[in-house]
Amino acid sequence: MDETLDPILIQVTVPLPIPMIYAAFTDPAQLSGWLCDTAEVEPRVGGIYRLGWKTPVAFESRGEVRQMTPNFDLGFSWQAPPEFDALMNRPAPKTQVYVRLQESPEGIDITLEHSGWEGGEAWEAARSWHFHLWDERLALLRDYLLKAAYG
Q: What is the pLDDT of residues 87-115, one digit of tens each?
A: 999 888 899 999 999 999 999 999 999 99
User: Is 32:137 a contact under the CB 8 Å cutoff?
Assistant: no
Q: What is the model's pLDDT at position 24?
A: 98
Indicate whether this model's pTM tops 0.85: yes
Q: What is the model's pLDDT at position 9?
A: 98
**Extents of the domains making up the chain:** 8-150
Question: 8-150, what's its fold?
Answer: Alpha-D-Glucose-1,6-Bisphosphate; Chain A, domain 4 (3.30.530)
